[in-house]
Homo-oligomer: A and B are copies of this chain.
Amino acid sequence: MTVSLGSLRADRPDIYVTGCPSRVVLDHVTSKWGVLVLAALAGGTLRWGELRREVDGISEKMLASTLRTFEADGLVQRTAYPEVPPRVDYRLTPLGRDLVEAMTPLITWVAAHAEEIVSG
């Protein structure tokens, strides 16, 4: 069952208004590293170091910042283990998993058509 294109705006006029919750969440998700971090976590729980290696090019600062945003949004759950050396892992919450599922068509499409677009 496909959502018709025409209904996209009619059903969700809220997306387009500055400062509304939809825009805030959309900004988080479409932030420079948002999609990549969420997609990386789609494969399952990852530790900090794994996440860094997984998302090529991200700095520690941006990884921390992106994760904190998603944690506050309730999309990612952080778990710290009281061990030495410290171990921390990150996983999607049920809400986050739901979001990633909604993102999957986009990511798949981009991956499939990227060459075509860039080569023009």
Contacts and interface: CB of A to CB of B under 8 A. Distances in A.
Interface of A: 2-3, 5-6, 8-12, 14-18, 20-22, 24-27, 29-32, 34-36, 39-40, 42-44, 54-57, 72-75, 95, 97-111, 113-120
A34 B106 CA distance: 13
Contacts of A36: 15-16, 26
A17 B56 contact: yes
Copies in the complex: 2
A43 B5 contact: yes
Given A24-B118, A74-B120, A75-B117, 7 more contacts: A6-B42, A9-B54, A16-B36, A16-B40, A25-B113, A25-B114, A29-B30
18 contacts: A2-B101, A3-B105, A5-B42, A6-B43, A6-B44, A8-B42, A8-B107, A12-B111, A15-B39, A22-B111, A25-B113, A29-B106, A73-B120, A74-B120, A95-B113, A98-B113, A103-B105, A103-B106
